[in-house]
Amino acid sequence: MQNKVKLRTLSVVLLAILLFVPTFSITTYARDIKNLDEIELCTGGMPFGVKISSPGLTVVKFNATKGKNASSAYLAGLREGDIITHVNGVRVTTIESFIKEIDKAGANTIKLVARRNGKELTFNVKPKYSRDDGRYKTGIFIKDSTAGIGTVTFIDPETGSFGGLGHAISDTSSGKPTVFTQGAVMDVKINGVIKGTVGTPGELKGAFSSKRTGKLLKNCNAGVFGVLSNDSNYKTSEKIKICPKNEINEGEAYIKCTLNSGGIGTYKVKIYDIDTSNSGVKNFKIKVTDKKLLELSGGIVQGMSGSPVIQNGKLVGAVTHVLINDPTTGYGIFIENMLKEI
């Protein structure tokens, strides 16, 4: 059994986030990675917050799928992970705009347009009257944005671009990378950690500040990528060279992550089961051996995804997954695989 070291989710339903649309792409900040020996990156280990807005309203769950109280939207064919874009021909991008159109329709059948796996689908939904709320409802829970916490893996000091997580922010239903239209990187403070136990992954707990520290530009299987603002503190981070995957050895290494407000910590781990032919995100295994980290978190927890892995003074990659039946063990991704995506 295994599980992603997930982006730490802060909320199921959030209000719309007002961000400007970036007028540039991640390629503006990319560098040629053919000569890995010439690249030096600042190591991460600091937490970061992410707020992203999707191109519509994502269906999170239904109030019921069977019986007399079954959701009318579910009965019409909508499913978790569908992204609703229109109600009766009106574009909806916030929860408020969706509720407004449902209230306007009353008892009349509603035409919902949603996207599923890249295809546009239409559903005719007959709302049900709720005596408790005194209004007609479709029986679905939706979200118009996502927020969470992860760990920065690296920052390119020449461009200000960064990579983190080591895996995608994914839709819970489809497992595919979440599509977003706008994304912000926020300053965040870690204020606690829930220890991982066998069968139950732990997690970092934190709070966003009002400071926006960058823009998120790409979300893919190898992680999230973006650019940090000039006033970010990454320039104080350690700058080291890249370790090509064919130079990684089984044995001692260390990871950098933040478990409390005391700052970035360095913790011993062991690398093993290296698979240099793997182009995905599970390229090697990591065993936490550091007594202090085991005492603080029980091993690898949600929110630590993206923690840089360092061996022999070079950046090897990032933590990506934890084994559910053994929180002291997880997977890592090669830094090469992350850099290819940027």
Q: Express each pLDDT in 110-144 by its tens digit.
A: 999 998 887 899 999 999 988 888 888 999 988 77
pLDDT at 147 over 80: no
Judgement on whether residues 194 and 283 belong to the same structural domain of the protein: yes
Judgement on whether residues 115 and 213 belong to the same structural domain of the protein: no
Judgement on whether residues 175 and 38 belong to the same structural domain of the protein: yes
The pLDDT value given to residue 14: 27
Judge residue 248's burial from the number of C-beta atoms within 10 Å of its C-beta, 0-12 exposed, 13-18 middle, 19 or more buried: buried
Judgement on whether residues 122 and 165 belong to the same structural domain of the protein: no
Q: Express each pLDDT in 221-267 by its tens digit.
A: 888 899 887 656 555 567 899 999 999 999 999 999 998 766 899 99
Judgement on whether residues 253 and 300 belong to the same structural domain of the protein: yes
pLDDT at 54 over 90: no
Sign of CA dihedral 59, 63, 66, 70: negative
The pLDDT value given to residue 181: 64
Judgement on whether residues 77 and 208 belong to the same structural domain of the protein: no
Name the pLDDT band for 33 (thresholds 50, 70, 90).
low
Sign of CA dihedral 272, 270, 1, 303: negative
Name the pLDDT band for 17 (thresholds 50, 70, 90).
very low
Judgement on whether residues 209 and 172 belong to the same structural domain of the protein: yes
Domain count, the chain: 2
At residue 282, the 3 state secondary structure works out as coil
Judgement on whether residues 177 and 263 belong to the same structural domain of the protein: yes
Judgement on whether residues 28 and 79 belong to the same structural domain of the protein: no
DSSP string, 125-141: E--EEETTTTEEE--EE
37-46, 182-191, 245-254, 329-338: which has the minimum mean pLDDT? 182-191
**309: β partners:** 255, 317
Domain's final residue, options 111, 138, 165: 138
Greatest alpha-carbon pair distance for the chain in Å reads 67
Judgement on whether residues 299 and 254 belong to the same structural domain of the protein: yes
Q: Express each pLDDT in 291-333 by its tens digit.
A: 999 999 999 998 899 999 999 999 999 999 988 899 999 999 9
CA proximity to 60, closest of 87, 82, 85: 82
**Close Cβ partners of 240 (under 8 Å, ≥ 6 residues apart):** 40, 41, 43, 310, 313, 314, 315
Domain's final residue, options 91, 118, 138: 138
Better-scored residue on pLDDT, 305 or 13: 305
Domain's final residue, options 107, 138, 169: 138
The pLDDT value given to residue 72: 92
Name the pLDDT band for 16 (thresholds 50, 70, 90).
very low
**310: β partners:** 254, 315
**Domain range for 119:** 64-138
Judgement on whether residues 132 and 149 belong to the same structural domain of the protein: no
- Rounded to whole angstroms, the Cα distance separating 40 from 42 reads 7
pLDDT at 15 over 50: no
Judge if pTM exceeds 0.95: no
CATH of the domain at 69: 2.30.42.10
pLDDT at 109 over 90: yes
Give the C-alpha distances (Å, rounded to integers) separating 123 from 110, 112, 115, 260, 276.
8, 5, 11, 47, 47
The pLDDT value given to residue 239: 84
Judgement on whether residues 170 and 112 belong to the same structural domain of the protein: no
- For the annotated catalytic residues, the residue numbers are 167, 290, 305
CATH of the domain at 334: 2.40.10.120
Q: State mean pLDDT over 52-59.
A: 79
Q: What is the CA radius of gyration of the chain?
A: 22
